[in-house]
Structure 1
Amino acid sequence: MKLRSTARTDVGRVREHNEDTFGLGEGESVERLGELLVVCDGMGGHASGEVASQLAVATILEVYYAVDDDDRPAALKRAFVTANARVYTQGRGTMGTTGVAAVLHHDALHVANVGDSRGYLIRDGSIRQITRDHSFVGDQIAAGVLTPEQARISSHRNIITRALGHQSDVTVDLFRWPLQVGDTVVLCSDGLHGLIEDAELLQLVQETPLEHVADTLVDLANTRGGSDNITVVVAQVEGLDWNASLLDVAAPGSATTAQITEQIVPPPAADPSAPADAPTAPLVPPAERPLSLLGGLLSALLLATLLLAILFVSMNPAPALAPTVTPAAATAAPVTTPSSATTTPAAATAAPTIAAPTPR
């Protein structure tokens, strides 16, 4: 596979230190086991969030490339489960991190996520969010209680319902998509997707040379307030190894964790299951993110309230009205007018140009 990528992380304009971490696979193992991209957004206050995200990224890279077989989704899931165990062991539930990772292997894209860091696929002029947000407002959107626009300004928008390292066990969501030449994969933390709309993300990725697109996106988020740490990884597929045997495996290779913490630079210029929008004005700077327990309790309370309301209505039906009968001399046959419906096919999914990540 011929692949080019770029990445950047930034502390933003409000936080004192960067708790985001990203990593990219390196070495001979990438050719045989696929290119692995990872973004983690740590939480826990003080230095705990930074420790959690760095430990998670390093573990995911290490464990994924240590597994020498052809079942890449299983290797990716194992890497996340191991990362959860290591972060939990070190912090005993006092720290945690989101995690999103993408493996581009032969002609397939494998994505795993825990938390609200996102993975997108851009293809043929369309953008699709592959991952599902594990957050309180994400659950409300899925239940039809909130619109994406309302979720953007909700006071609960920073509560996540799932994290690596907060509990001894974790559920990892896995997704698989076929790859095409020209596809672009984007991973980002909520410091980016919370300030840049999906439509803007699509436009900037398509119109900006790949070597500049990460800087362009981060700088735009900073001009809109930079209320959180901001991280983005962008990878473009320029060729697929269609004839490669999926049964071939390679000896484990090396992988490194690239971490950049830099100062602010001046600005420049859908998912089947979880829609996403974003504001064009700065959001109010969020407080330190709560961990997943509160989000889970709030979600459970919301669901219980909805169920009680449904039960009350079903047990107390409205009284039936007595019919009014008007005599008529003749009865006319009903006239039926057929209704028509049109279906607009969904748009496909596109990509930009070239570059490789340059650690800063």
Structure 2
Amino acid sequence: MKLRHSARTDVGKTRDHNEDNFGVGGDERAAQLGELLVVCDGMGGHAAGEVASQIGVETILANYYGDSSDDRQSALEQAFEQANSSIFARGQGSMGTTGVAALLHHDALHIANVGDSRAYLVRDGEIRQVSRDHSFVSDQVAAGLITADQARFSPHRNVITRALGYQPDVTVDLFRLPLQVGDIVVLSSDGLHGLVTDAEILQIAGEQPPEQATQALIDLANSRGGTDNITVMIARVDGLEWYGEGAPAPDDLHDRTTIELPATERLAARAEAPTERLEPQPAPAAAPPAASARPTRPPEPGLNWRGLVLALALLSVLIGIILFYAPSVLAPGGAESTPTAAPSAPAATAAPPTLPPAPSVAPTSNAAITPTAR
């Protein structure tokens, strides 16, 4: 493999010391085991972050090249795990570092990462982020709460969710892609990609030789404040040895049986908005429509149920009223009519007293009249 690479690190404009470290495994073992490039961004306060990143770089390189097994991806993963154990043993969880590595071995590119330091692939005028950020804002972007551009300006953009050295064990993300001549691999700490857009990385890394491109990218980040340590590594593939019979198609970048590209971005889909800053409104603004969209249907069953209960209650009252007053309306001679008939009885019996002269006839007349009156 013909490979040109360059790496630079800079303290930036606001920090008093540099906690970034990088390393390249390019000695005689690289011909057999591949070219390994590593970037680590340390954390943990003054000196501790620098120690963690140095241990990370040295341990990853030493353990990878110390393993001569055929499974190079597994060797890379184990090298990261050993780096995590070494840093944790040194700091007992008080210091840590991100870690990203690019292994160019024969016809393949292997990427390993923990934290938010990134690996990019530049090919055919496009740039793709291969690594996956282990950060709070990355999780927000994945959940659709904020956009990728808003994440760049979020006050929580420096909060990472995974690192080397903070826990006894760590999970390493691994990716594999086929290589082709002309590919450019870029590794960076967040001091670079936090201030420089993917499109600008594409333009500078794609148009300038690695030696000039690394310096140009650092200068650009510093011109925008240099708010963090800045590290960038660029490797350009000028030739491959394994092209021929049985070799994978060099442009087969979407073979999902061997490739994982979790954060693919095309330039046309990426908006350049350096003045757009994240405020509390964007995330809640997207949430209310989703929240209010849900209740648009549930209220209907609620209203129908309440309406049904109200209708049944009214019907019950109406039935009660009918049952209460029906006897007086349908059967005026019943028990309900007795109170009203009592007053009329004197009026009906008032006539008999007007016939006192014939008392002997009263029983017969009363017997005949009584049934009729009822």
Structure-2 residue corresponding to 1:42? 42
Contact kept in structure 1, 2:12 and 2:227, CA below 8 Å: yes
Structure-2 residue corresponding to 1:125? 125
Amino acid at match of 1:230: I
Task: Measure the CA separation in 1 of the matches of 2:230 and 2:204.
Answer: 16
Structure-1 residue corresponding to 2:163? 163
Structure-1 residue corresponding to 2:263? 273
Task: Measure the CA separation in 1 of the matches of 2:263 and 2:12.
Answer: 29
Amino acid at match of 1:133: D
Structure-2 residue corresponding to 1:180? 180
Residue 40 of structure 1: how far off its partner (Å)? 0.3
Structure-1 residue corresponding to 2:214? 214
| C-alpha distance 77-98 of structure 1, shift in aligned 2 (>3 A) | same
1:319 match: secondary structure: helix
Contact kept in structure 2, 1:133 and 1:274, CA below 8 Å: no
| C-alpha distance 18-279 of structure 1, shift in aligned 2 (>3 A) | farther
| C-alpha distance 94-104 of structure 1, shift in aligned 2 (>3 A) | same
Structure-1 residue corresponding to 2:237? 237
Pairwise mapping of residues 169-318 of structure 1 onto structure 2 (< 5 A)?
Answer: 169-242=169-242, 272-273=262-263, 280=274, 317-318=298-299
Structure-2 residue corresponding to 1:319? 300
| C-alpha distance 153-25 of structure 1, shift in aligned 2 (>3 A) | same
Identity %: 61
Structure-1 residue corresponding to 2:311? none
Contact kept in structure 1, 2:175 and 2:261, CA below 8 Å: no
Structure-2 residue corresponding to 1:11? 11
Residue 245 of structure 1: how far off its partner (Å)? 12
Residue 277 of structure 1: how far off its partner (Å)? 7.2
Structure-1 residue corresponding to 2:319? none
Residue 26 of structure 1: how far off its partner (Å)? 2.4
| C-alpha distance 277-155 of structure 1, shift in aligned 2 (>3 A) | farther
- TM-score (normalised: structure 2): 0.69
Amino acid at match of 2:263: S
Spell out, residue by residue over 1:279-305, the C-alpha distance to the aligned partner (whole angstroms, 9 max, x if none). 64799xxxxxxxxxxxxxxxxxx9xxx
Task: Tell whether 2:67 aligns with 1:67.
Answer: yes
Q: Which has the higher helix share?
A: 2
Pairwise mapping of residues 52-63 of structure 1 onto structure 2 (< 5 A)?
Answer: 52-63=52-63
Contact kept in structure 2, 1:112 and 1:175, CA below 8 Å: yes
Structure-1 residue corresponding to 2:112? 112
| C-alpha distance 281-317 of structure 1, shift in aligned 2 (>3 A) | closer
Structure-1 residue corresponding to 2:21? 21
| Structure 1 segments (4+ residues) deviating >2 Å | 243-246, 270-283
Structure-1 residue corresponding to 2:361? none
| C-alpha distance 121-139 of structure 1, shift in aligned 2 (>3 A) | same
Task: Measure the CA separation in 1 of the matches of 2:164 and 2:244.
Answer: 34
| C-alpha distance 62-281 of structure 1, shift in aligned 2 (>3 A) | farther
- TM-score (normalised: structure 1): 0.71
| C-alpha distance 171-279 of structure 1, shift in aligned 2 (>3 A) | farther
Task: Measure the CA separation in 2 of the matches of 1:274 and 1:147.
Answer: 14
Task: Measure the CA separation in 1 of the matches of 2:40 and 2:195.
Answer: 18
Higher RCO (CA < 8 A, seq sep 6+) = 1
**What is the CA RMSD across the aligned residues, in angstroms?**
3.0
Structure-2 residue corresponding to 1:92? 92
Pairwise mapping of residues 340-359 of structure 1 onto structure 2 (< 5 A)?
Answer: none
| C-alpha distance 274-159 of structure 1, shift in aligned 2 (>3 A) | farther
Contact kept in structure 1, 2:132 and 2:262, CA below 8 Å: no
2:27 match: secondary structure: coil
Task: Measure the CA separation in 2 of the matches of 1:197 and 1:179.
Answer: 24
Amino acid at match of 1:215: Q
Amino acid at match of 1:207: E
Residue 182 of structure 1: how far off its partner (Å)? 0.5
Residue 136 of structure 1: how far off its partner (Å)? 0.1
Contact kept in structure 2, 1:111 and 1:119, CA below 8 Å: yes
Task: Measure the CA separation in 2 of the matches of 1:54 and 1:136.
Answer: 25
Residue 211 of structure 1: how far off its partner (Å)? 2.1
Amino acid at match of 2:300: P
Structure-2 residue corresponding to 1:141? 141
Give structure 1 stretches of 5+ with no counterpart. Answer: 247-269, 284-301, 323-360
Higher mean alpha-carbon deviation, 270-279 vs 112-121, is at: 270-279
Amino acid at match of 1:54: Q
Task: Measure the CA separation in 2 of the matches of 1:8 and 1:184.
Answer: 16
| C-alpha distance 244-79 of structure 1, shift in aligned 2 (>3 A) | farther
Contact kept in structure 2, 1:12 and 1:228, CA below 8 Å: yes
Contact kept in structure 2, 1:25 and 1:35, CA below 8 Å: yes
Task: Measure the CA separation in 2 of the matches of 1:281 and 1:223.
Answer: 15
| C-alpha distance 25-197 of structure 1, shift in aligned 2 (>3 A) | same
2:199 match: secondary structure: helix
Task: Measure the CA separation in 2 of the matches of 1:242 and 1:61.
Answer: 24
Residue 317 of structure 1: how far off its partner (Å)? 1.6
Residue 318 of structure 1: how far off its partner (Å)? 2.5
